[in-house]
Amino acid sequence: MAAMILSRHKLSREAASMPDAGGHSALPRHVAIIMDGNGRWAKARRLPRIAGHRAGAEAVRRTLRAASKLGIDCITLYAFSSENWKRPEQEIADLTGLMKQFIRAELDEIHRGNIRLRIIGDHRAFEPEAAAMVDAAVEKTAGNTGATLVVALNYGSQDELTRVMRSLAERVRSGDLDPQAITPDIIAAELDTADLPPLDLLIRTSGEQRLSNFLLWQAAYAELYFTETLWPDFDEAALAAAVASYAERDRRFGGL
């Protein structure tokens, strides 16, 4: 079944990037994923939650390879939200350990693939070793010119927008910015995602249908795709199905 889905939906990068009648590409340039369902996956198997997170890390590896095959330019993963600090200390420690393990295991392959790593949110809130490893990974891949992998760490969209409003307010107070000159483009230029392509497709796994404080501004005209698949089960066929659904959408951006 997976092979059938892939053979039906998998497009070459050249064909998929051709615009449709409305001038929009059939292939999303920027895809974001809310990776949900690790805990439920583990619970269904009577395993500890950490087993679900480990399986989720494997799903990240599969998804990055699948995105590369499809020719997606930028993929953003919601790895740790600013609200996740409410979880038990042991789970936070487990997630931090997995993050460090992922960097050790995958960074060289990411770098060889000419992929640039970007972080949104405040990753320096993590323990010093983890934060330093993230900094080193970003620095190592900074000059890469291929696809971009964006990882949201200690990220919350409301916090991001609050920081932007404070920054603009300071500029207004200092006389550097006229309030009447504030436009959506001015705001977008202050966001954590300012140097990234506009968000085209936002995927959430596990059947939940909410954004959970993720890329609220950026998702204004993104296509939303919800799947019952739990994140540890997400694979190449699942990503191809989401991209195929996107290709069938009529993106009007408020027009006719």
Judge whether 81 is annotated as a binding position: yes
Judge whether 83 is annotated as a binding position: yes
Judge whether 167 is annotated as a binding position: no
Instruction: Give the three-state DSSP class for 150.
Output: strand
Q: Beta strands 74-81 and 201-204: pairing type?
A: unpaired
Judge whether 9 is annotated as a binding position: no
Instruction: Give the C-alpha separation, 139 to 143, whole Å.
Output: 8
Instruction: Give the C-alpha separation, 211 to 14, whole Å.
Output: 31
End-to-end CA distance of the chain: 37
Judge whether 22 is annotated as a binding position: no
Angle CA(91)–CA(97)–CA(101) in degrees, nearest 5?
A: 145
Q: Which of 238, 235, 240, 239 is nearest to 58 (CA)?
A: 235
Judge whether 127 is annotated as a binding position: no
Positive or negative CA dihedral for 85, 89, 94, 96? positive
Which residue is it, tokens 């690790």? Answer: 38
Judge whether 217 is annotated as a binding position: no
Judge whether 53 is annotated as a binding position: yes
List, by residue number, the catalytic residues: 36, 84
Judge whether 160 is annotated as a binding position: no
Annotated binding site for substrate: which residue ranges?
37-41, 49, 53, 81-83, 85, 87, 204, 210-212
Annotated binding site for Mg(2+): which residue ranges?
36, 223
